[in-house]
Amino acid sequence: MSTETVDQQLEEPSHTARADLAIEGMTCAACASRIQRALGKLNGVDEAQVNFATGRATVLHGSGVGDTEFRSTIEGLGYGVVDTDSPDDSEEQRAADLLRRFVVAAVLAVPVVLLSMVPPLQFRGWEWLVAVLATPVVFWSGWTFHRAAWMNLRHGATTMDTLVSMGTLSAWLWSTVVLVGDIEGGHVYYETGMVIVALILLGKWFEVRAKRRSGDAIRALADLGARTARLEDGTEVALDDLMVGMRFVVRPGEKIATDGLVVDGQSAVDASMVTGEPVPVDVTIGDEVIGATINTNGSLIVEATRVGAGTVLAQIIRLVDEAQGSRAEVQRLADRVSAVFVPFAIATAVVTLGVWFLTGNSADAAFTAAVAVLIIACPCALGLATPMGIMVGTGRGAQLGVIIKGGEVLEDTRAVDVVVVDKTGTLTEGRMDLTEVQAPDGESEEILRLAASLEARSEHPIAQAVSSAVEEHGNVVGFSNTPGVGVTGTVDGTEVRVGRRRLFDTVPTRVEDLAITAEATGATVVFAGRGPQAEAILVVSDRLKDTSVAAVAAFHDQGLSVTLLTGDNLRTAEFVGAAVGADHVIAEVMPDDKAAEVRRLQAEGHRVAMVGDGINDAPALAQADLGIAVGTGTDVAMEASDLTIVTGDLRAVADAIALSRRTLGTIKGNLFWAFAYNAAAIPLAASGILNPMIAAGAMGVSSLFVVTNSLRLMRFAGYRGPAQSRSTTPTQETVTT
């Protein structure tokens, strides 16, 4: 496999160095933008990219600046730089910390809410108990919001953390003033701050758990390679000690240690983990082999030609990392609106306080109105809008066999207009089967029995497909295997040959015509005969999945164009493409070329969803606007993707796209009504019509609306129901699952 294209994609100016930093403490996309701007202003920095979704910064720079300056700049903004050896441990610790804070908040909030909302439960001095229970929740559980708000305030910025912090602190502070000052007619609102803290913490925990998955693809890829290599003299060396020019032995069933050139031996190499194609490639002296692929039968001696970062596997890892790190920053819908809403809400509360004072009202009335504004504006419903939609949507997806990785994925589906589909293992079964035996002169069953008996002695995957087609095998003597050509032997006293054309002295015209016809469908043809003349053909192929045609039709129902992208030969690809109804076919592409094709479509203005199941698909899955992995494929493909379908039924991909779109629509609806509620209620609170108690109740109603609206997603139905027609879309509730 040539890596020239990969090298071109990753080539950087010779004077430019690259620094990769794992950052902790970012709470929204605004944090990433602030860090990116600061790094970009440093002298010697050519380009800086900070990705909130992955928590990583990539800096291209000259020799006059380095990690020390980057670290001090980031820490000066109030964020942290994590040791690159343990960024995942840091994310895990943050998730655990958020979970602890949420549990404390939720446990303490339950009795407070009951005491505050159910008068029969109230007793003399109950407010003091509530104050004691609320204090650790507001100050300890909510510390992450207060710290982020203060950090942002130092740099003149406001986010949802600012509003959460001010709202909860105001509710606690005013409640304490009422309680300690024994203000007549005053009310305590401790439960409001506690519920807000608990709900927002829950949403943050889900967000962190989704984000930390971004590094799993790289780890899964790195685990594929061999750990050691056995040299010609029998010495076993660590892979890191292997150098270009060294020769190593690869026995049957072993992984090839690194990219190299075969200098001795013949075999069939299973390169499906890299190429995605199920047919092993016959290799002999002078052929190139790829590291991490599997030697199936013969023994090989390979001379290393590329090691370390220069190997094909290492460059695929780099491509996945580059694609993930260079994706457009995802900014949550609530954060985008809050950039305007948060300062407006704070200003409104301050103005309300001043106006009430200036118009001669009491301090109690003025503070009551101001606190009502902050409480009514406090984002309880907003805090639920996204996580609740994600929770219900992903839960329904799990029931349908669709795994959605985080809220960012939902935004990526809204404008997808092209679906790029891999062939092997996605549209097809991904395994070789004997599909047909054709013998012009008859006796196809007898020839198959003899051929299967002989092939049972071979370890080649195609031979295994033939041998498994017959349960009882004959007695074989004189077995001989010519790698890359075929096998010969005597079965029950009859000379039998099975293999390529050149294995036979003559191939009758009728047999050759059958072979040409079968090969035109993209199948692999094996000749068989009793003696030197070929008598029959054995057709071996990768079967098309029964649901592939319906899946492509479902994509068309959603207005999506379908492109078949495969490393297989053009003839096979065009046949499969025509069979399923694909709009475009691109064949004979390698892993780096697949990612390049996705980039080409994106450059043309398309939003691309990529569907694949193999390691060779991982760079394209990571590069695509929406990566969808078939769950019957490799772990690498699943980790590099945004969506995973746990079934081999491709119609589940149509379900995944439709469900993601519906979930995003629900979240948008939640956010709209949450903000609309605030827009209508804030003026009423400022005018004194809504006191804090009514404001808290109204906030509860808005939260209830968000919950019930999200629960409507449970009624979503997919394309795989028994009565599903081609014209029916899953947005119609007549569809069954």
Q: How far apart are CA 137 and CA 198, in angstroms?
A: 8
DSSP secondary structure letter of residue 43: T
Extended strands (E) in 251-409: 259-264, 267-270, 281-283, 288-289, 294-295, 300-306, 402-404
Do 426 and 630 contact (CB within 8 A), yes or no?
yes
Closest CA to 260 of 278, 242, 273, 241: 242
Residues near 204 by Cβ (< 8 Å), separated by ≥ 6? Answer: 27, 98, 144
φ/ψ of residue 77, rounded to 5: -85, -5
Evaluate whether 671 touches 203 at the Cβ level (below 8 Å).
Answer: no
Residue 649, helix vs strand vs coil = coil
Distances from the Cα of 642 to the Cα of 211, 394, 429, angstroms = 11, 12, 22
Among 270, 412, 422, 593, the active-site one is: 422
User: Are the beta carbons of 16 and 61 closer than 8 angstroms?
Assistant: yes
Which amino acid, one-letter code, is at 342?
V
Residues of 647-665 as b/e, b for ≥16 C-beta within 10 angstroms? Answer: bbbbbbbbbbbbbbbbbbb
**What Cα–Cα distance (Å) separates residue 106 from each residue in 100, 129, 148?**
10, 16, 21
Beta bridge partners of 231: 248
Side chain identity at residue 698, one-letter code: A
Q: How large is the angle between the packed helices 126-136 and 87-117, nearest 10 degrees?
A: 170
Q: Which of 429, 431, 434 is nearest to 538 (CA)?
A: 434
Comparing CA positions, the residue from 11, 334, 309 lying closest to residue 159 is 334
Cα–Cα distance measured from residue 650 to residue 551, given in angstroms and rounded to the nearest whole number: 6
Cα–Cα distance, 678 to 378 (Å, whole number): 9
Please report, as a single letter, which amino acid is at residue 556: H
Residue 588 three-state SS? coil
Give the torsion sign (CA, 586, 589, 592, 593). Answer: negative
A 10 A CB-CB count for 447 gives: 23
Of 397, 470, 432, give the one whose Cα is nearest residue 647. Answer: 397
> Is-contact 451 640, C-beta < 8 A?
no
Q: Which token pair is 345? A: 């809400």
Burial 11-41 (b: 16+ CB within 10 A, else e): eeeeeebebebbbebbbbbbbbbbbbebbee
Specify the length of the chain in residues. Answer: 737
Distance CA 655, CA 712 (A): 16
Q: Return the closest-CA partner of residue 419 out of 572, 276, 548, 245.
A: 548
**H/E segment holding residue 128:** helix 126-136
Catalytic site includes residue 412 = no
- Cα–Cα distances (Å) from 419 to 45, 60, 123, 464, 653, in that order, read 37, 33, 63, 34, 10
The residues that are catalytic are 422
